[in-house]
Every structure is written in C-alpha cells, then in structure tokens.
A and B are shown apart, each in its own frame.
Chain A
Amino acid sequence: LAKTTQPISMDSYEGQEVNITCSHNNIATNDYITWYQQFPSQGPRFIIQGYKTKVTNEVASLFIPADRKSSTLSLPRVSLSDTAVYYCLVGDGRAGGSYIPTFGRGTSLIVHP
C-alpha cells in the first residue's frame, strides 16, 4: 500500500522560500501527486498537481524526480497567510481496480513576521 511521509512541522519567515518534501516510495505508475493546503476549520484546498519533472502555477511549484519516490512543494516568498497545514496526496495502488486516496499526515507550516 502506498504511504506518504512528510515533516510534521516547519517554520519560516515572511519573504522566504519554503520547500516541503513528501516521500512516497510505493507510488503506483499511474498515480499523480497532489498537494493541498488546509486552514483551521476549513476543508483542504487544492494547490498543485503533477506527474513528473516540474509543474508551476501562480502560487507554487512542484518538483518530482525521475524515480517519483518523492516530491517537493515549493512556496516562493511566503507570507503570514501561508501559515497552514500542507498535505500531499497520492493514490493507494489499484488493488482490485479501486483507488484509495492516501494523505500524508500533513506539514504544519508557521510563517513568522
């Protein structure tokens, strides 16, 4: 079964770049890697998704090495409002044709002034 591992917490300061890495050693061939952001008392919000190499959008970049056993979410120039919990999501194989979303335990990012 796929399993993801992320750092429990990270601290940063406004204006810095933050990189959060997620390990997913048993990722299935067809699985995409998706990252979500969650604020207290809200549901997770989609940030970025990728399959391999690098993906960039207006808020983040996602780096995926060739072996796809890890991925790194990069947040450029963070602000206080980026303080949140960040989750990476991969599928959990295709056992019997089913797809089980498996979230990491989340990384609590605290951005300091």
Chain B
Amino acid sequence: KAGVTQTPRYLIKTRGQQVTLSCSPISGHRSVSWYQQTPGQGLQFLFEYFSETQRNKGNFPGRFSGRQFSNSRSEMNVSTLELGDSALYLCASSSIPLGGNNSPLHFGNGTRLTVT
C-alpha cells in the first residue's frame, strides 16, 4: 500500500497570500487529520475530516480551513498568511475516526511552508 502523500513538499509564500495544501491518505482510510509543527509550539492538531465531514477542530483561527473529497483526499487552506504560519504541515490518515481504540495515525512527510 502506498503511504500518505502530501503535496507540495515545499512552499514559499508572502504575507497576505493564501495557500492550499493537499493530502492523499492511505487507500481505504477515511479519516484525515492535519497538524502544524513548529519548533516553538510542537505538534498541534488543526482538524480532522471523516467521510467529507469535519469532526474535530483544534484551537486555530478561522484562516485555517479544510475539506475532504469523496475519495478521502483532503486539502487544507490558509488565507491571509502571516509570518507565524511558517511551519511543517503534516497530515495523517487512519482507518477509523480519531479516538477509536487501536487506530494509529499514519503520517505523510509534510509540506514545509515558509512565509516571507
């Protein structure tokens, strides 16, 4: 089975722009969750989608949004970029919704976003 694929791998944007990141989960996985990783704050949960519906959301402003398609692929959008949005954005897939017993997360290698 192919692993979780995230595109693009690297991205450079300027303040005020918006960006869309893509995540293709492992085949058959219907849960996709997104995370922001920075040296200062560590790994922080953004949101989770399952069967095209957002189930959970972390403590991030509304500039961070996402969606999931019928094939379980997911996109994350960040609008009005700020310098502090520079981070590694990771997505993870699992076969069942987050919180289910024995449902480890399978992570992609992330998109490195740099905002200048």
Contact = CB atoms under 8 A, between A and B. Distances in A.
Interface of A: 30-32, 34, 36, 41-46, 49, 51, 87, 89, 91, 94, 98-106
Question: When A and B form their complex, which 9 residue pairs have the shortest distance between CB atoms, in order from nearest?
Answer: A43-B107, A99-B99, A46-B104, A103-B43, A98-B56, A105-B42, A99-B98, A101-B45, A44-B107
Contacts of A87: 43
Interface in B21-42: 33, 42
B66 interface: no
Contact of A43 (B44, B48, B92): B92
Contact of B98 (A41, A51, A101): A101
Interface of B: 4, 33, 42-45, 48, 55-58, 90, 92, 97-99, 101-102, 104-110
Given A43-B108, A100-B56, A101-B33, A106 B42 contact: yes
Contact of B106 (A41, A46, A106): A46
B89 to A, nearest CB: 10
A11 to B, nearest CB: 20
Contact of A91 (B33, B92, B99, B104): B99
Contacts of B92: 43-44
A68 B114 CA distance: 39
Residue with the greatest number of chain B CB neighbours at <10 A, chosen from A46, A105, A106: A46
B18 to A, nearest CB: 24
Nearest to A41: B109
Given A98-B56, A99-B56, 4 more contacts: A41-B110, A89-B105, A101-B45, A103-B43
Given A98-B56, A99-B99, A100-B58, A106 B109 contact: no
